[in-house]
Structure 1
Amino acid sequence: MDDEAPENGKPMHITIPTALTLFRILLLPVMVLVFYAPFRGANIAAAAIFIAAAVTDWLDGWVARRYDMGSAFGAFLDPVADKLMVAVTLFLLVQDNHTPLMAVTSAVIVGREISISALREWMAGIGAHATVRVATIGKVKTVMQIVAIVVLLYQHDLESLRPFYLGETLLVIAAVLTIWSGLQYVRAAWPVLRRQR
């Protein structure tokens, strides 16, 4: 969350939060390559890359708030980076563990992210963005989602199914929290939605 939009043809200034967000996006193709790499420990490396991305997600927001570096561009780029990382990683995991439960759970999570992003963008367009702020349950959902994905990435290439079942269970819990937080967003936005019909 981060920098100044270009004005009068001046180049955009890249602040530390913006650089962290861009770094998170650059980690995405690296994680995909590592995920498919044939070397021993690729699963641990992929999980470590995802953890690094999650840490930069927290860090760029903290730096932006602490040092007053927030901007419209940062507000746009940060959630895009988050959703790209989660969606692409879930696609990798479903391809690697193509069970109906994994597919449905991942579809619920990705579908919710797309739907709520569209809702928030529309609300911002009509000047009612404050109505749909991130709720506590949304933050809990995010933490659960990150833990589940890390466990599933670690499980990749392991012979034991125990970590997979743990990761799958955590992902199902994350999907339930995803639906719950999504309904809270819709509930908060509903009065405005009714007026705009």
Structure 2
Amino acid sequence: MEKFKFTTKTNYEVFRDYWMFTLFEKRGANGSRSGFVKYMTVLIVIVAALAVLCVCNAALMGNALGLIPLILLIGIGAALVSALVTATKSQPKRQYKLVQEAVESPQNYIFTEERMEVREYIPEEDRESLAEFPYEKIISGYETQKAFYLFISETEAFLIPKDQLGEIHPKALEAFLAEKLNGRFSVSKKS
């Protein structure tokens, strides 16, 4: 019996939302933060320590260290800004161009009581592909303001834009996925 059936195509806006989610919110299998969040945290701590060093150098040490703390602060601060801009602005555009053809082709979803089925037409091969995923094989599911993400590995997910569910209300799909994924489904804090 079909529970839900719809067709989606991912656009850049949904892909960027997914990108930002994986950078800042998605947790690893062991519940740890992403490598990017860890890297940014280290840079922020270094910038804060250098700022304190600059203040101490100027106020308490009479500039005994000269401009070295200020130069280090500016350099590390520039690295922080550069990493943030690259990761949130230019990198999602580059990655989207790499996967654009695949994610923009229509994907037909059917959710049954036992599994998720995804059908996609492959023009180069003039055939339709079918992928079936019992709910036990979906490692995690997330809902954001714009989409649902169903991860079949730590780095591979199906992106389901909410505005393409047709007559299906997002809350109905949310409740269904929460039940079927049995504790492996989360709603984004920013939703």
Q: TM-score, normalised by structure 2?
A: 0.29
Task: Determine which structure has more spread, i.e. the larger CA radius of gyration.
Answer: 2
Q: Which has the higher strand share?
A: 2
In terms of fraction of residues, the more helix-rich structure is 1
